[in-house]
Amino acid sequence: MVTVASLDTMDTVINSNIETFVGGFSYRLEPKPILIAAPENFNPVLQLPPPPPPPPKSPTQESPPISKEPQQPALVLESIQTDWRDEHSNFQQHNQIIEPKFQFRMPNGEKITFKTGFNTFEQPSIATVTNIPLQFGWQGKTGQYTIQASGGIDVFNRLPIAFNFNAQIDRPIFMNLTTDYKLKSALFLSLVVEHGPYKTSARTLESQITSWRSGLNAYWQIDPNTSLFSSYRLGLYNDGNFEQQSFSRLEHKFGQFWAAANLFAWKYASDQQEISGYFSPLGFLVYNAEVGWEGNIFSFLRCRVNANLGRQQLNGKVTGGNSYQTRCTTQITPNIDFDFGYSFSNVRNLDTGDSPYNNQNFTGQLRMKF
């Protein structure tokens, strides 16, 4: 879900989409600031066809000895990724998310995932809500389509169990490479459907707000240094509310530096903040310019810093909308990486009237490959 509080993490969304799109091709793309990790080298359609079957053996031919080689296990643990986020607002809203995800590989190349966690949501005058998600997922390929689907339950300390579900279908429309197999231009599309409890605050969870959200992501690599990402979402809430949301980002790179323009629009049919607790503006617009840098500090430490300067318009009132973010990745061992970051933003995720709003996020991600 793309919310205002997560605009500074949109690069992660783009990265995951692109990895999914190109994961089925047998070449590696040049790492870009917006593409944190290189795609996998697996493409079933490029594998050689199986050898022709042997001719039938004659009645006198002896049976071959039984192979004693061990069979390949049905599931092989491929990676463990643990996400951590601790966010605070100046209105004493505090959410902490800790979610490990286990990914297994099947012999046919398909993947099975299991995600759990321990999440807490705190807010003044409301008892703390504790959440443990339990979700199983599957990922596979059909032709040029990559399909991901997952579902499960959310368990709470003092609220009823809620169901969650999400699905995504990705497809490359076209892709052009340079002579050295670097991405020159491409267009990727993704269709997304999501359902589950609306985890924005303790009050929203206490109101038992759930939503169905669907939409489209599009990533256009215009040239090796210029890209455009756009997303559109429609949302239907169990309290009868309806939302529309769009985000666009145009970026150009200059070596280790980049400049970007971001545009975010959000609109609800009715404002339910006082009743249900979630930010639901009748009209909200954010536009800003961004500059950033990413590079190696040491051989084992890579960092990224960026700043956004712009404006935000909430129900016709225009104020400044600025943010800055830093994130570093350290390689602990060849198979273990750790990300840690900090971001600050005054872009609203709550209608506070004339009072200023700001939000701070501390993030971390531990990745282990096997």
CA–chain centroid gap for 132, Å, is 19
Please state the φ and ψ torsions of residue 64, each to the nearest 5 degrees: -65, 155
- Tens of pLDDT along 106-133? 999 999 999 999 999 999 999 999 999 9
Cα separation values, 289 from 44, 261, 326, 354, Å: 42, 5, 17, 24
- The model's confidence at residue 60, banded by pLDDT at 50, 70 and 90, is low
- The model's confidence at residue 44, banded by pLDDT at 50, 70 and 90, is very low
Q: Residue range 132-153: average pLDDT?
A: 97
| pLDDT at residue 152 in the model | 98
Rounded-to-integer distance, Cα 199 and Cα 46, Å: 42
| pLDDT at residue 257 in the model | 97
Rounded-to-integer distance, Cα 244 and Cα 170, Å: 22
| pLDDT at residue 119 in the model | 98
Please state the φ and ψ torsions of residue 202, each to the nearest 5 degrees: -65, -40
Q: Which two tokens stand for residue 133?
A: 């998600």
CA–chain centroid gap for 198, Å, is 16
306-341 burial, b at 16+ Cβ within 10 Å, e below that, comes to: bebebebbbeeeeeebbbbbebbbeeeeeeebebbb
- Tens of pLDDT along 179-208? 888 889 999 999 999 999 999 999 999 999
Domain ranges of the chain: 4-35+73-369
- To 5 degrees, how large is the angle CA 262–CA 265–CA 269? 170
Please state the φ and ψ torsions of residue 75, each to the nearest 5 degrees: -135, 135
DSSP 1: -
What 3-state class would DSSP assign to 120? strand
| pLDDT at residue 63 in the model | 57
68 or 187, greater pLDDT: 187
Pairing of β 336-345 and β 111-115:
unpaired
Q: Which two tokens stand for residue 10?
A: 């949109």
DSSP 32: B
The number of beta carbons lying within 10 Å of the beta carbon of residue 9 is 18
Residue in the structure block whose two tokens are 């769009």 = 246
> Does domain 4-35+73-369 sit in CATH 3.40.50.2000?
no
